[in-house]
Amino acid sequence: SMTAVEEKFSLTEVLSSFKACLEKENQDVLMDYYISGWKGLVRFMNSLGAIFSFVSKDAVSKIQIMEAFRKSSSGDQYRSLQSMVAYELKAKLVDLNKRAEHSNSGCRTILRLHRALRWLQLFLEKLRTSTENSKTSVLCTEAYNDSLANYHPWIIRKTAMVSFYALPARNTFFEVMNVGSIEDVVTMLGEAMPYVSQVYDITQQLYAQHNLLDLP
């Protein structure tokens, strides 16, 4: 039943999608697992409270854009991030300087999620190495300022900062992850985060190589 599925939800499974992303032989980042990783993160974020719905709404709309590409007649071209970049560039489906007729390309959409993945990486690493007295709002703000904030206009930065104060305390946060004791969470993060980092690094390299890191 639905309830059973909800009960089983744990951050371990979410992060395992990012492990499944990486294709063994050629290190391609597989789109379907990337999307399912993001869907899991959205579910996790929603479980933190309605105040984060402005964040999850944007993530959801980006996930939907990518799902639509995947379901379209050119869906095969979106099998991996690498094939997407090759296809969209070759077919001139990316607005490189100014948003115009291809305002929601796969490349620019994934770039937004990619930047958010950096925030996640920084935040979970801070959480993993935090102590009892650490404040999640502070950890989150630091992670945000070192990543996403650099790409957000003032009004979004302001709203984000305010919402961080609504984050649950460290203990509650660990509980919501549904992994086990704090030690279990720390162990899980230590094992799972290297895969998230690998996905991030490969994507970063791919985008840098094709000069796509500043897509409007």
Where along the sequence are the contacts to ligand 1PZ (CB under 6 A)? 41, 44-45, 48, 52, 54-55, 58-59, 112, 115-116, 119-120, 140, 144, 148, 156, 160, 167
Minimum CB separation of residue 83 from ligand 1PZ in Å reads 22
- Tokens 């991996």 sit on residue: 80
Round to whole Å and give the CA distance between 53 and 65. Answer: 18
Minimum CB separation of residue 207 from ligand 1PZ in Å reads 15
Return the number of the residue (119 or 200) whose C-beta is nearest ligand 1PZ.
119
136 CB-near residues (< 8 Å, 6+ apart): 127, 167, 168, 169, 170, 173
Return the number of the residue (79 or 112) whose C-beta is nearest ligand 1PZ.
112
Return the number of the residue (76 or 214) whose C-beta is nearest ligand 1PZ.
214
φ, ψ (nearest 5 deg) of residue 10: -145, 150
Return the number of the residue (30 or 41) whose C-beta is nearest ligand 1PZ.
41
Q: Quickly count: other Cβ atoms within 10 Å of residue 162's Cβ.
A: 10
Minimum CB separation of residue 24 from ligand 1PZ in Å reads 27
- State whether residue 8 is helix, strand or coil: helix
